[in-house]
């Protein structure tokens, strides 16, 4: 693989991995979860506005707009609102482990919605993935707040799974970056619900907290998509996308260095189980007759934190 592809993929993974810790920093600074996600995606939307002004962006067909809007709601609104509210009680590294199970949900949804055939290893992989998520979710069963946050993160994983299953047709007509812009714009609209009190919080929260949220909006939520597109365009898709399995590891390392968080050992074990399930499903779990949606999942822009 070319040096350019390696650098672009590395930058992307580092940025995406830093988002989990960045959310926790914004929450610790005093922002509500609603205001964290709103500021973040107002920032990301602004980046895509600049992108659209500088580069000619494809205008979607009228018939595609309802699907784009629904996917923006599922993959941006539901995913990021659930993720951010979930991280109020779940550590950044643990959150990344639950989100890493999303391809297992994607495979399950595709099996029923798109009639994609799974073999026995595929179903075994899905079972391992769900088992790993269950281990993480109930790792601290004595604390109801942790369980509640973990369930929100499962909702986030389901939301992003629907997003990746049903975006399949759009990438035959539009570029990933153009679609990322439209998904972000449509997905930001429901977040405006959190506008009340925003100005007051901005005025009373440390500037460092606000800058951190803007960072995770501009870089992991916007610019990283461009780097990912570059990596896919100059490197082999299968090799590039295999690097996504490193994202939870990087997220844990970033959270440890940045905010001093390390997931519980049982959460790491559950994450390893879920990741093993994803690998089994993606590599050996599908019939070989048609390309799989889970393969598309990793070739389209991945869902970051």
Q: List pLDDT tens digits, range 105-157.
A: 777 777 776 666 778 887 887 788 778 777 776 665 445 445 688 889 989 98
Q: Which sign does the torsion angle of CA 250, 82, 157, 44 carry? A: negative
Where does residue 287 rank: exposed (0-12), middle (13-18), buried (19+ CB within 10 A)?
exposed
> Which residues, in sequence order, are bridge partners of residue 286?
118
Q: In this predicted model, what pLDDT tens digit does every residue of 236-284 receive, in sequence order? A: 655 555 566 778 888 888 999 999 998 878 878 887 887 787 778 767 7
Q: What's the rounded Cα separation, in Å, for the pair 149 and 151?
A: 5
Provide the whole-model pTM: 0.86
Q: Are 251 and 305 in contact (CB under 8 A)?
A: yes
Instruction: Compute the mean pLDDT over every residue in the chain, rounded to the nearest whole number.
Output: 83
Retrieve residue 107's tokens: 């495979």
Q: What's the rounded Cα separation, in Å, for the pair 233 and 240?
A: 10
Retrieve residue 216's tokens: 């995770």
Q: Which sign does the torsion angle of CA 82, 86, 91, 97 carry? A: negative
141 phi and psi angles, rounded to 5 deg = -60, -20
Q: Tell me the helices (H) and strands (E) count for the chain, helix number first.
A: 16, 0
Query: Tell me, what DSSP letter sits at residue 59?
Result: P
């Amino acid at each position: 693989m070319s040096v350019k592809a390696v650098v672009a993929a590395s930058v992307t993974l580092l940025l995406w991995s830093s988002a989990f810790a960045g959310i926790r920093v914004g929450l610790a600074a005093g922002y509500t979860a609603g205001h964290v996600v709103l500021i973040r995606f107002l920032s990301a939307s602004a980046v895509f506005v600049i992108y659209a002004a500088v580069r000619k962006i494809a205008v979607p067909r009228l018939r595609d707009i309802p699907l784009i809007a629904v996917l923006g709601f599922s993959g941006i609104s539901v995913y990021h609102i659930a993720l951010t509210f979930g991280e109020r009680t779940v550590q950044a590294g643990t959150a990344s482990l639950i989100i890493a199970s999303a391809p297992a949900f994607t495979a399950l949804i595709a099996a029923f919605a798109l009639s994609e055939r799974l073999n026995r290893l595929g179903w075994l992989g899905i079972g391992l993935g769900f088992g790993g998520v269950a281990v993480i979710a109930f790792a601290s069963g004595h604390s109801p707040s942790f369980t509640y946050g973990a369930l929100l993160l499962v909702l986030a994983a389901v939301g992003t799974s629907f997003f990746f299953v049903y975006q399949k047709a759009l990438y035959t007509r539009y570029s990933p970056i153009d679609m990322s812009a439209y998904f972000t714009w449509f997905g930001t609209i429901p977040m405006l619900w959190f506008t009340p009190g925003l100005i007051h919080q901005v005025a009373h929260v440390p500037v460092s907290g606000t800058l951190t949220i803007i960072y995770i909006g501009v870089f992991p939520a916007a610019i990283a998509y461009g780097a990912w597109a570059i990596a896919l365009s100059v490197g082999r898709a299968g090799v590039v996308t295999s690097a996504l399995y490193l994202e939870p590891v990087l997220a844990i390392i970033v959270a440890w260095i940045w905010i001093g968080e390390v997931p519980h050992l049982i959460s790491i074990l559950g994450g390893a189980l879920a990741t093993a399930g994803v690998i089994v499903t993606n590599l050996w779990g599908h019939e070989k007759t048609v390309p799989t949606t889970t393969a598309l999942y990793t070739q389209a822009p991945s869902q970051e934190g």
